[in-house]
Structure 1
Amino acid sequence: MSGSDGIRQVRLVAHFPGVNNTTVWSDPRSRSQIDFSSFEELARTAERGRFDYFFLAEGLRLREHQGRIHDLDVVGRPDTLTVLAALSAVTANLGLAGTLSTTYNEPYELSRQLATLDHLSGGRAAWNAVTSSDAFTGENFRRGGYLDHTDRYERAASFVRAVRAFWDAAGTGRAAVHRDRFFDIEAVPTLPRSPQGRPVVIQAGDSPQGRDFAAAGADVVFSRHGGFEAGRAFYDDVHRRLAAHGRGDDELLILPGVTYVLGDTPAEAEERARAIRYQQVSGATAIRFVEQVWGRDLSEYDPEGPLPDVEPDLERVLTQGTAAARSTDRAALVERWRARAASEKLGIRDLVVEESARQTFVGTPEAVAGEIVRHVAERASDGFVLVPHLTPGGLDDFVDRVVPLLQERGALRADYTPGATLRENLGLAPRP
């Protein structure tokens, strides 16, 4: 969507980072993951910056490593919909998006919960529909186990169709019927039609099947391709898939997750970025990261020393952990890491920093604003999901120093449209 002067509008999303190694937990400015004040502060900052929506991740089970719970996980994995409902009372224009699994929820119940949030918020609800892949999480649920990759996406597509059928039947007094190999449901919705008609649906898959799933019915794609060239390739690929589903280019937004570091000079920004990367990856974190790929206990290794000379245990099945750990070719990954470590003279911690903790936008506020505008103008994205390294104050400097520059360039709204729903703020077509 372009403004009145033809400049493509930047879409901005505030991500509450939750439990991951992006957040610098050791920083004294980091606060609670469960106190409502943390959620409220980040949401209010995003609304002050005229962001489109607040994005909350979800974890359905605490992660474990070597038989122990990750220490940081126990600081809080709150229920998504409860937090978003509370935020609806302290925000007026900001969209409220939650990550909710299609594997471990039921369509009728979730459609009702999201429609309720849409009513409570005046049309600001959004749902990041994700599949859940591992048996480890499945142990928390009655049916246990997990679905293979193909079935996960087929169930997800069926799930989304069912939810939308219930939304569309709202207020009609008629039952919505959805029957296939995954579901056999006939239900009359208990609510009138929600303000948006249908809450906004977000999808985050990156496989060919995930991209097709997004092209078929998502309103927004949460992408991991924040770099310019990778972003443009992903953008073009997903948009090519839209026509096969009878959809136009203006029916889908692509918003990569990114991080940023600002400085008064380029050198200062680079120095800050390097310091943050090393705060994000402690020695213990680096060892755990490598253990998840090796499949072995490496606690005796020095994180400042060379990569382990022992070979990885490729017979061990990894049910959780990093994307690297779940790679289908861990042997090739280990060889690549060894080659890079040797050529660049990197120890374990140095390598993990380079492989895992990299900021997308680093520079002065003017440079960062210019790069954001370029990405959107040249269709490498439609905007960005900002993942701050501090919770909850990590967006403050972006809102104070970059947002005014985007507004001066005409790339970001100066204010919200009164009474607009999230769908309208995003420039998406209304649902009849």
Structure 2
Amino acid sequence: MSKPLKQIHLAAHFPGVNNTTVWSEPRAGSHIEFSSFAHFARTAERAKFDFLFLAEGLRLREQGGQIYDLDVVGRPDIFTVLSALAAVTERLGLTGTINSTFNEPYEVARQFASLDHLSGGRAAWNVVTSWDAFTGENFRRGGFLPQEQRYARAKEFLVTATGLFDSWRGGEIIADQATGTFLRDARVGAFVHSGEQFDITGQFNVPRSPQGRPVIFQAGDSDEGREFAASSADAIFSRHATLDAGRDFYADVKERLARYGRTHDQLQILPAATFVLGETDAEAQEISHEVRRQQVSGATAIKYLEHVWNRDLSAYDPDGPLPDIDPAPGENTIARGRASVRMFRDPLATARQWRERAAAEKLSIRELVIATTARQSFIGSPATVADTINTFVQADAADGFILVPHITPGGLDKFADTVVPLLQERGVFRTEYEGTTLRDHLGLRHPDAEADPSDQRVAS
């Protein structure tokens, strides 16, 4: 008996705080005007996507002591944008990244519970930590936490927020015979949490929301991040680009679920993916090559190289060879607020690998940066892209994908109009929404249907 086809999950990432967007494209629009967000969200909902995702930028990035102006500078407040989008969409999930390092559980829980009410049960929270003191300078506590402490705080933050979400579960309506009115049990909303990170006692003032609590996303790829996702998340982002790497990651994370009393269907794995469509595969390859050159200008290539070398490389020709000097040791002082800096834990080894590749393939600085920064992409005709996406999902390399277009806000339109119908014809993607909440779209159970969901979230 053949294995039944898995249903594909699709979502859309409104790109920001990066150089994904091709600004030279005449169709490129604003990243702050609401009309851009509304167009993007309506396209995603028209295509019956599960959700829209917004990243968070808490400080403008700097390089060499100046604002880094080669990518999107800034991001409107996530809750404001998602709340506004709730009014112009009906079924699309609304996912936002909110930091656990500099926020407080009560405030975040209240905001997400409110968004879940306003949207009719479509809210999701991507729980992240902050890694750098540079961002921390914007906040009262300042500084930053070592990796193990960041995850310890994140775990307790989520446990605390979950307690707040669940504080309205149960309780009774009490009739006051003397006045003829009905009062809610005073215990509802009461919470007490005492731990290493938080010590709070009070009463949560937002009633139980349609989803019980928002869907929880997590984006870490380290061992700590994978364990955090297995214990506490409903979905995890992945950045693994190949079929084999995707299958290895998928198997690893899914196998961790059992020790937290969870089943495979309680965690969805959704890699981010770019895409380029053409009438033919050959045309798409040509477009893709040009897109990558537009995303990585000469100036961008030099700035990116400085993340690794930790030196001012402005005198180097981006169309010339890599520097023959080694990266400067110690803390990176060139790029501040750049996530890519932390990806290069051994700059000397990275420099050696890049020199070897550049020499073997005769690559310039710019060509090397283009080659090394290419993420998982679906390139081809609509039929080719539909087939490739389906192959990844059916092979358990992913449960679906979060698509990142290179044009905003209209870059999702062609995918919605050409690729989605092909997936629907194959019977692997919905033709209509079957539920009203994001949990419905992702195939996740309501927390109230679980025996004791808070136990799963306390696991460490």
Q: TM-score range by the shorter chain?
A: over 0.9
Alignment of 1:350-429 (within 5 A): 350-358=367-375, 360-417=377-434, 420-429=436-445
Would the aligned equivalents of 1:216 and 1:242 in 2 still touch at CA under 8 Å? yes
- The CA distance in 1 between the partners of 2:339 and 2:154, in whole Å, is 22
Residue type of the alignment partner of 1:271: E
Would the aligned equivalents of 1:223 and 1:256 in 2 still touch at CA under 8 Å? yes
Residue type of the alignment partner of 2:226: R
The residue aligned with 1:183 is: 198
Q: When the two structures are superposed, what TM-score results if normalisation uses the length of structure 2?
A: 0.90
Q: When the two structures are superposed, what TM-score results if normalisation uses the length of structure 1?
A: 0.96
- The CA distance in 1 between the partners of 2:7 and 2:396, in whole Å, is 11
Deviation at 1:326, TM superposition (A): 4.4
Moved more, 136-145 or 166-175: 166-175
Alignment of 1:7-406 (within 5 A): 7-72=5-70, 75-170=73-168, 172=171, 173-318=188-333, 320-323=337-340, 326-358=343-375, 360-406=377-423
Would the aligned equivalents of 2:167 and 2:190 in 1 still touch at CA under 8 Å? yes
Structure 2 vs 1, CA of residues 344 and 72 (structure 1 numbering), >3 Å: closer, same or farther? Answer: closer
Structure 2 vs 1, CA of residues 79 and 11 (structure 1 numbering), >3 Å: closer, same or farther? Answer: same
Secondary structure of 2:411 counterpart: coil
- The CA distance in 1 between the partners of 2:390 and 2:341, in whole Å, is 31
Residue type of the alignment partner of 2:220: G
- The CA distance in 2 between the partners of 1:174 and 1:82, in whole Å, is 25
CA deviation string 1:132-165 (max 9, x = no partner): 1100100000010001000000100000011111
Would the aligned equivalents of 1:32 and 1:75 in 2 still touch at CA under 8 Å? no
- The CA distance in 2 between the partners of 1:356 and 1:72, in whole Å, is 15
Deviation at 1:19, TM superposition (A): 2.2
- The CA distance in 1 between the partners of 2:241 and 2:48, in whole Å, is 21
Q: Which has the larger Rg?
A: 2
Residue type of the alignment partner of 2:386: A
Secondary structure of 1:38 counterpart: helix
Secondary structure of 2:244 counterpart: helix
Residue type of the alignment partner of 1:314: P
Structure 1, unaligned runs of 5 or more: none
Structure 2, unaligned runs of 5 or more: 172-187, 449-460
Equivalences, count: 427
Would the aligned equivalents of 1:19 and 1:72 in 2 still touch at CA under 8 Å? no
Secondary structure of 1:370 counterpart: helix
Would the aligned equivalents of 2:21 and 2:407 in 1 still touch at CA under 8 Å? yes
Would the aligned equivalents of 1:261 and 1:359 in 2 still touch at CA under 8 Å? no
Residue type of the alignment partner of 2:94: L
CA deviation string 1:362-390 (max 9, x = no partner): 11111111111111111110000001111
Deviation at 1:183, TM superposition (A): 0.3
Structure 2 vs 1, CA of residues 326 and 217 (structure 1 numbering), >3 Å: closer, same or farther? Answer: closer
- The CA distance in 2 between the partners of 1:40 and 1:65, in whole Å, is 32
Deviation at 1:263, TM superposition (A): 1.5
- The CA distance in 1 between the partners of 2:330 and 2:58, in whole Å, is 27
Would the aligned equivalents of 1:225 and 1:231 in 2 still touch at CA under 8 Å? yes
CA deviation string 1:119-139 (max 9, x = no partner): 000000000000111001000
Deviation at 1:6, TM superposition (A): 3.1
Deviation at 1:358, TM superposition (A): 4.3
Structure 2 vs 1, CA of residues 130 and 322 (structure 1 numbering), >3 Å: closer, same or farther? Answer: closer
Residue type of the alignment partner of 1:143: R
Secondary structure of 1:381 counterpart: coil
CA deviation string 1:196-232 (max 9, x = no partner): 0111000000000000000001000011114211111
Would the aligned equivalents of 2:60 and 2:74 in 1 still touch at CA under 8 Å? no
- The CA distance in 2 between the partners of 1:325 and 1:431, in whole Å, is 35
Secondary structure of 1:186 counterpart: strand
Deviation at 1:73, TM superposition (A): 5.8
Structure 2 vs 1, CA of residues 103 and 358 (structure 1 numbering), >3 Å: closer, same or farther? Answer: closer
- RMSD of the alignment, in Å? 1.4
Secondary structure of 2:216 counterpart: strand
CA deviation string 1:237-295 (max 9, x = no partner): 00111011111111000000001111122211111111111010000000000111111
Structure 2 vs 1, CA of residues 325 and 351 (structure 1 numbering), >3 Å: closer, same or farther? Answer: farther
Taking only the aligned residue pairs, the percentage that are identical comes to: 58
- The CA distance in 2 between the partners of 1:296 and 1:378, in whole Å, is 43
Structure 2 vs 1, CA of residues 98 and 53 (structure 1 numbering), >3 Å: closer, same or farther? Answer: same
- Deviation beyond 4 Å, 4+ runs, structure 1: 72-75
Deviation at 1:321, TM superposition (A): 2.4
- The CA distance in 2 between the partners of 1:177 and 1:316, in whole Å, is 40
